[in-house]
Amino acid sequence: MHYFQYRDNELYAEDVPVREIAAKVGTPVYVYSQTTLERHFKAFTEAFSGAPHTICYSVKANSNQAVLKTFIKMGGGVDIVSGGELSRALKAGVDPKKVVYSGVGKRDDEIEYALNTGILMFNVESEQEIDRLNEVAGRVGKKAGIAIRVNPDVDPQTHPYITTGLKKAKFGITMEHAVAEYKRASEMPNLEILGIDCHIGSQLTKVEPFVDSIKKLKELITELRGMGIELKYLDLGGGLGIQYDAEAPPLPADYGKAIKEETKDLGLHLIFEPGRNIAGNAGILVAKTLFTKERDEKHFIVIDAAMNDLARPSLYGSFHGVQPVVKDQDGLIGADIVGPICETGDFLVKDRQIPMFKQNDLMAFMSAGAYGFTMSSNYNSRPRAAEVMVNGDKFEVIRERESVEDLVRGESLPSWLA
């Protein structure tokens, strides 16, 4: 459920006509509904009522500080994958004790920064990272809380690029090595073992892969207890999918029920790292038709947004629904919606029946609240889009559209060319 709905023939973001936002801020523009963000966060946390848990929102899905602050105010923590994300989250006011740090390649300076900030724990992804964490923690005189990210070798049945929990993936430590690594870590002076972690992939549309990985982790937890290694936290990562097209992912309540059932006797504090499930359907990308091209073979709608603004269709062949901001088109047409970028892969919609958009028509790409703006780039020297947050009948810009000056900031000519 989200708050992008039609009133008469006009698309609204909560109580604001999307047309008004586009008129004031220009296009392309990302528009987020704060009420939807809150509703999704609430649904997720309520799904685990009765079980001690913390929601550590995955910053990479949508890292705008206004979005982070919305969840932080509701008691959320964050899952970060870089020093940059930590800096954003701290700026937005996150409690460091609710920060978990994932990622296969943490640099020394990032580790130091996180230790000095006093984050809850590092989700350790390799044997060498364990040694490095111990070393850096010793150097800065802190103890590093850790969970080992275990790769449970479960197929999440999602797109291969967002599958992370198979043995062949670069993520985590394999089940076979995990026990030995816990033992090794438990003997290191600057580490404190706090938990166990897994994250098997993104856009999962079934509960079973989550349950299967918990079953595998439980075997490990039992083995660790036998060795006198007690854990406090069970971090189950993110990955719960959303509806983009015709998928029918489980509701947070059903996901919660299955997980509570599977973890109830463990006595561990649960941590979740949802990203897409909370932010995905809370945002849209609004763009404008520049030209239409009719050919015998094919019809193209050329718009002012491109793969640099919303990369998912080009990157994964992902589906985003497209809707007119004002419904006044003459029926449907089979067409591609493409951007101005000089790549054949630059499309947002491919071979689909869509409204017959005319020049200057506005359109909204749905479900663009997660992995939308955060994956955007400046390719073709295109300034990145503005971001707007709506609440009820109010809206404000939460990130200015980039300017052409922004594009060359930091560049300089070498002395021999100046």
Ligand X SMILES: *Cc1c(COP(=O)(O)O)cnc(C)c1O
Give residues 156-185 in contact with ligand X (rule: CB under 6 A).
none
Residues near ligand X (CB under 6 A), total? 16
* Contacts (Cβ under 8 Å, ≥6 apart) of 278: 37, 40, 41, 44, 57, 61, 71, 370
Per-residue DSSP letters for 356-394? ---TT-EEEESS-SSSSGGG---TTTPPPPEEEEEETTE
Q: Is 79 in the site for ligand X (CB under 6 A)?
A: yes
Residue type, 213: S
CB count within 10 Å of CB 378 equals 12
Q: Which amino acid is at 141?
A: G
Q: Is 200 helix (H, G, I), strand (E, B) or coil?
A: coil
Q: Can residue 85 be called a binding residue for ligand X (CB under 6 A)? A: no
CA–CA distances in Å: residue 220 to residues 174, 225, 273: 11, 9, 21
Exactly one of 237, 249, 252, 355 binds ligand X (CB under 6 A); that residue is: 237
Give the footprint of ligand X on residues 275-304 (CB under 6 A). Answer: 275-277
Contact letters for ligand X, residues 186-225 (x by CB under 6 A): -------------x--x-----------------------
Catalytic residue, candidates 246, 342, 404, 417: 342
Residue 58 engages ligand X in binding (rule: CB under 6 A): yes
Q: Is 56 a catalytic residue?
A: no
The H or E element that residue 131 is part of is helix 127-140
Q: Could you tell me the smallest distance in angstroms from the CB atom of residue 282 to ligand X?
A: 13
77 lies in the binding site for ligand X (CB under 6 A): no
Q: At what angle do helices 252-263 and 34-46 cross, to 10 degrees?
A: 30
Residues 239-278 that bind ligand X (CB under 6 A): 239, 273-277
Among 11, 16, 25, 61, binds ligand X (CB under 6 A): 61
Contact status: 102 vs ligand X (CB under 6 A): yes
Nearer to ligand X, 163 or 391 (CB): 163
12: three-class secondary structure by DSSP: strand
In the complex, the residues that contact ligand X under the rule CB under 6 A are: 58, 60-61, 79, 102, 199, 202, 237-239, 273-277, 370
